[in-house]
Amino acid sequence: MQTQQYDAVVIGGGPGGYPAAIRLAQLGVKTLCVEREYWGGVCLNVGCIPSKALITAGKKFDELKHLDVVGISVPSGATLDMGKLQAWKGSVVHKLTSGVSTLLKANKADQLVGEASVPAPGKVVVKTPDGNEVHIEAKHIVIATGSRPIQIPGFNFADERVMDSTKALALDFVPERLVVIGGGYIGLELGSMLQKVGCKVTVVEAQDQVLPGFDPDVVKVIARQLKKNGIDVLLKAKALGWEEGENGALVNIETAAGVQRIPADRILVTVGRRPNSESFKDLGLTMERGHIVVDKQLKTNIPGIYAIGDVATGVMLAHKATHEGEIVAEVIAGHKAFNDARTVPAVVFTDPEIATAGLQEPEAKALGYTLKIGKMPWAANGRALTTLETDGFVKVIVDAKNDRVLGVTIVGPHASDLISEAALAIEMDAEALDIGLTIHPHPTLGEAVMEAAKHALGEAVHIVNR
């Protein structure tokens, strides 16, 4: 049996793995990328991209109901063809995933489809779909195996009525009634999308607010919108299980008032994700709650083995994985590189959108900072008024000692696009005045970031200063 020789093997072709393999090849490192299921990983295939495609469609469908205020009407009412929507979503996914293989090939990174295991440092065995085994030796091994949805007792994803995010994204019909277990970002994104196209949605959350960990000011905006849209939210509630009733499922929910039985056609479980690290436990890697512990160079406790993305310690976000993939490539190539980013921005594609960079206000207070807070409501922004999206605000959190920007929180239109300016400000250790003195074009949503920074300093001109 012949053993293949590589300088580096990347296990996983998702948003962390494939950029790592591409960058390694660019740096002259002989690299193999192994993927067991689909190039682009969960994000491109059954996560970030398809969910945003459906969310966009849902939002556009809903907007048609509210355009009479500007003189636009759809007399016969809009209709939705879920089959066509799924076909369009699939075309978007195909364009991006096929591009991954093209990029790997163009950069001369080898590809192999199969299930990889690491029997020992420097050794990789790949079981291919045809049942064969490929044995590989490599000085460097990068584990980029991602994560999967957590399944809870009483709700088996194998049951037709019970869905994880993957099954929800493949729906070719709109359920009449949906129960969402878990009020985090995935549950609210998908639940809100389905509500917009005609589904009755109930969200069950164990904590005392949806979106646990987010600024309560943000949660108030989202909770108000959920209520306005007719989405029922049960807080401090626990899903016990479900049973088949005469007209669909009956979901048993334990609340302070007792057990409620909520009818549903489908049940979406979104209580979090767990890292795909089990197959590496016998290597002796140091782990925390299933995540492989890494240092600032993405090195594990075993020389020659690295971990990036969801399977490694840190936040579980695709852009964090991509950044780590590029850093680990530089490290393996012998460059002096470290993962020393000041912030990993986060985005929630609810309606309105949420985005954060750096510290949120409660986090900064908990760390003992004395703060200056600038807040610009979208209702005072000209561009927001012209787009009919005025819910929410931009909040700039500033260290009162030196006026350094500690964080920016945005809830409102295009928050996902606006947050990059905030992330750059934090990476550059900018002061609020740096944002405030930067001329922003008018009329734009970006002006709200500038105005909020000025507001923190008491220099705003389009909102009353504190």
426/431 Cα distance (integer angstroms):
9
Contact partners, residue 336, CB within 8 Å, separation at least 6 = none
Cα 349–350–356 angle (5° rounding)?
60
97/378 Cα distance (integer angstroms):
36
289/347 Cα distance (integer angstroms):
24
The answer to whether 288 and 275 are in contact (CB under 8 A) is: no
Q: 66, 94, 135, 442: which one is catalytic?
A: 442
Handedness of CA 60, 62, 67, 72 (dihedral sign): positive
39/97 Cα distance (integer angstroms):
6
- Strand-pair partners of 203: 180, 233
394/344 Cα distance (integer angstroms):
18
The answer to whether residue 455 is catalytic is no
Peptide bond into 149 cis (omega under 30): no
The answer to whether 155 and 269 are in contact (CB under 8 A) is: yes
- Strand-pair partners of 425: none
Q: Where in the sequence numbering do the catalytic residues fall?
A: 442
